Structure 1
């Protein structure tokens, strides 16, 4: 698959970071490009017991051979970006589009102090919403205007299209989730732009005919940070009893939780034109699955759950996460074709 797009199927927090990290290593991805909103989305993955988090760089960062690109549609916080480049020692393989919008302290203060954004919507306070508002007004400063990141500037769209045309393995990483989309989500409790697969491609400057597969990532249950509707939401005691209690990777806020929602899943597949499914945290719902690498080894109830998802959605579940470690993954891409 020369070009694969990953996108979240629920409200974010689906485990996209782990899936991208796995694919980058397993498939030896040549180029990984991040679309989405900006540093308001954190991706987490674990390798050999060590936890890594990124808010700006693609989650393919652990593959030292992967070029890491940030598309023009993504907002950049230079402080966060430069810190991540230093942490992962990725100076020589990180590239930012000239036209990325820049988040500054004023945007962050506005985000944190605006009572509507903070209390009613429940934003992260990262400055993403106010910066995107300025971009819509055509007043936002762009990456090409910031000397501190001049070393990393590039025409990202040109680079990605060149890689695709030359048969390289390209992975385009989305952020947030389908139902946090400004246009297709649970407005007004959404992020400040569209984050469906079409928008992610637009963010990095790739047209739809260049995409080979769209991988939608679902968690084995549904979680949501902040305000907004959540069908079949469970009480905190119920969530704790199931060991589904989680906290947001950017804000640290407790995530609300509900069982897997098949109606939401079908809608996400439709909106994103998804062609396959990655299912994460199966081991949280079915603890006996932890660390398993083969579908045949799963307990019967876990197999039934996966089979039901395939039956209800009409798509193959090609990747299954069975633990926090990147390689705690069942890869069914060959067996499901």
Structure 2
């Protein structure tokens, strides 16, 4: 069975959570592992009209039979972790989750520094979650690890071993990324970036997955990209234009209003190349064309929406396999069989 990685292709907030939730429920992977930075990225999922927001655990929690793993490269905030165990109790997450014992810990002082440092919070516009300072301590080899926190002991595991064992046993593995390509420490708009690389290669490394064991990379793009915090945004539109188009959004973690822009085909092509995209997922097509809302058959999409998808495929050079046409899990068009 294959493994696949889902990552954001823009500035985060692409709707990865909704794509991952669909894949989890439709493909039913036995293992869902989360890579990425830490609790500075929030993913939202709508299930039966109810919104669930997670910052620490895999968004694939909606698949109640999957083993849920947090890879060694991910920062863990015990306070957030235990809150989400309670928040998601309807999904029996507590019995299914495992944290790699090598995860570095976000301490209270990391969060305090992140929220009060004039450069990090003031100029760069960090979320205040403590991830940057925690990763700095990790690089300096003084951060505590999950194995040092007594309360986490029941959940500790070797995620890399579990992921590779699952593949050896022919199980399907879904790996989740966080943030977006434009926020990569290496390839993004430095210094207005997050504290590590966010490309698919880094996400694979976070969970201990070697490059030859990745079968597909799904890169998620939103019809109107958004960005939270400071930094370059070449296709940004005015707030007035965003309001006119009904594109007012707020960050899951920070609550800050998101900046909104037009789809950047050149940036999307570069993002897809570096991520090694094999499949594209397009979210919020209904925001681009309101008549596309809730459509689940590609042939029934309005002409404007079809033309937009065709333009993306032509200019980015990768086929579109998944299209979200609304917030609910069932608001999706799955074209992967045609790729």
For 1:63 and 1:83, the matched residues in 2 are separated by 19
- SS of the residue 1:95 aligns to: strand
Residue among 144, 148, 162 paired with 1:145: 148
- SS of the residue 1:259 aligns to: coil
* Equivalent in the alignment of 1:157: 160
* Equivalent in the alignment of 1:29: 29
| 1:174 equivalent in alignment to 2:177 | yes
Q: Is the 8 A contact 2:235 2:263 kept in 1?
A: no
CA apart distance, 1:49: 0.6
- SS of the residue 2:6 aligns to: strand
Aligned ranges 1:81-96 → 2 under 5 Å: 81-89=81-89, 90-96=93-99
For 2:237 and 2:211, the matched residues in 1 are separated by 38
* Equivalent in the alignment of 1:118: 121
CA apart distance, 1:327: 1.4
For 2:263 and 2:215, the matched residues in 1 are separated by 27
* Equivalent in the alignment of 1:132: 135
Q: C-alpha deviations, 1:123-157, integer Å up to 9, x for none? A: 00000000000000000000000011110000000
| 1:11 equivalent in alignment to 2:28 | no
List alignment gaps of at least 5 residues for structure 1.
Answer: none
- SS of the residue 2:336 aligns to: coil
CA apart distance, 1:4: 0.5
CA apart distance, 1:120: 0.5
CA apart distance, 1:92: 1.2
For 1:188 and 1:144, the matched residues in 2 are separated by 32
Aligned ranges 1:1-337 → 2 under 5 Å: 2-89=2-89, 90-335=93-338, 337=339
- SS of the residue 1:75 aligns to: coil
Q: C-alpha deviations, 1:37-59, integer Å up to 9, x for none? A: 00000000101111111001111
For 1:313 and 1:115, the matched residues in 2 are separated by 38
CA apart distance, 1:323: 0.3
- SS of the residue 1:179 aligns to: helix
Report the TM-score when normalising by structure 1: 0.99
Q: Is the 8 A contact 1:39 1:56 kept in 2?
A: yes
Count matched residues.
Answer: 336
Q: Is the 8 A contact 1:35 1:74 kept in 2?
A: yes
CA apart distance, 1:232: 2.2
- SS of the residue 1:251 aligns to: coil
List alignment gaps of at least 5 residues for structure 2.
Answer: none
Q: Is the 8 A contact 1:34 1:174 kept in 2?
A: yes
- SS of the residue 1:33 aligns to: strand
Q: Is the 8 A contact 2:38 2:74 kept in 1?
A: yes
CA apart distance, 1:201: 0.5
Report the TM-score when normalising by structure 2: 0.98
For 1:176 and 1:263, the matched residues in 2 are separated by 19
After TM superposition, which residue ranges in structure 1, 4 or more long, deviate above 6 angstroms? Answer: none
For 1:164 and 1:232, the matched residues in 2 are separated by 41
For 1:334 and 1:124, the matched residues in 2 are separated by 39
CA apart distance, 1:91: 1.3
For 1:323 and 1:273, the matched residues in 2 are separated by 27
For 2:44 and 2:30, the matched residues in 1 are separated by 21
Q: Is the 8 A contact 1:85 1:94 kept in 2?
A: no
Give the superposed CA RMSD: 0.7
CA apart distance, 1:94: 0.2
